[in-house]
């Protein structure tokens, strides 16, 4: 074990990577950046990433599926926000689009937006209808829903009189 305990060594880098993965799944790019930031040489980082991929600890396809599911079910985010997050984590745009199409079609996105809006609506009691509409739409936009979805949900919950 020539690398054990050596700063920037293979064992140290692999242990650090496994510790990161014990908290949550990571993309290949995220792991590369974290290992590099920790000061590990590029050759060591490449070896660790290769080893983690072979062991199926690091897989962008699985990561993308998990990320989409968590962001939809736990956070209630829209496609736009999820797409931006995944691309920022180094996931290829084709993979992001494919996973969003499969796991989070527009019909499901509208259901999620409607559920969120219904929970949020009571906090707008007492406001003028135009102010409530504006706030509801802006809330949904911040969550990553398209303006079309936000406006459609708003028309459904706060119809014009």
User: Would you list the DSSP string of 48-113?
Assistant: HHHHHHHTTS--HHHHHHHHHHHIIIII---HHHHHHHHHHTT--HHHHHHHHHHHS-HHHHHHHH
Nearest CA-CA partner of 135 in 152, 149, 117: 117
**In the chain, where the domains are located:** 10-54, 60-104, 107-157
Cα 139 to Cα 159: distance, rounded to the nearest angstrom: 17
pLDDT at 13 over 60: yes
Length of the chain: 161
Query: Read out DSSP for 119-154?
Result: HHGGGGTTS-HHHHHHHHHHHHHHTT--HHHHHHHH
pLDDT band at 7; cut points 50, 70, 90 = low
pLDDT in tens, 28-59: 999 999 999 999 999 999 999 999 999 999 99
3-state secondary structure of 6: coil
pLDDT at 8 over 90: no
pLDDT at 5 over 50: no
pLDDT in tens, 85-107: 999 999 999 999 999 999 999 89
The answer to whether the CB of 140 falls within 8 A of the CB of 117 is: yes
Q: Please report how the helices 42-54 and 28-37 are oriented relative to each other, as an axis angle in degrees rounded to 10.
A: 140
Q: Please report how the helices 79-88 and 60-70 are oriented relative to each other, as an axis angle in degrees rounded to 10.
A: 150
CA angle 58, 61, 62 (to 5 degrees): 65
Nearest CA-CA partner of 61 in 24, 20, 94: 94
């Amino acid at each position: 074990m020539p690398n054990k305990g050596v700063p920037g060594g293979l064992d140290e880098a692999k242990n650090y990577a496994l510790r990161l993965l014990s908290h949550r799944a990571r993309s290949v790019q995220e792991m590369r950046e974290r290992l590099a930031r920790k000061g590990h040489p590029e050759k060591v980082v490449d070896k660790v990433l290769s080893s983690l991929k072979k062991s199926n600890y690091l897989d962008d396809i699985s990561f993308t599926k998990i990320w989409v599911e968590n962001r939809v079910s736990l956070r209630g985010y829209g496609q736009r926000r999820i797409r931006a997050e995944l691309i920022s984590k180094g996931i290829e745009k084709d993979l992001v689009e494919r996973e969003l199409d499969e796991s989070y079609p527009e019909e499901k996105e509208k259901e999620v937006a409607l559920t969120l809006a219904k929970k949020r609506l009571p906090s707008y009691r007492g406001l003028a209808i135009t102010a409530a509409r504006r706030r509801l739409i802006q809330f949904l936009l911040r969550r990553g829903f398209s303006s079309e979805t936000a406006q459609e949900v708003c028309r459904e919950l706060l119809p014009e009189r």
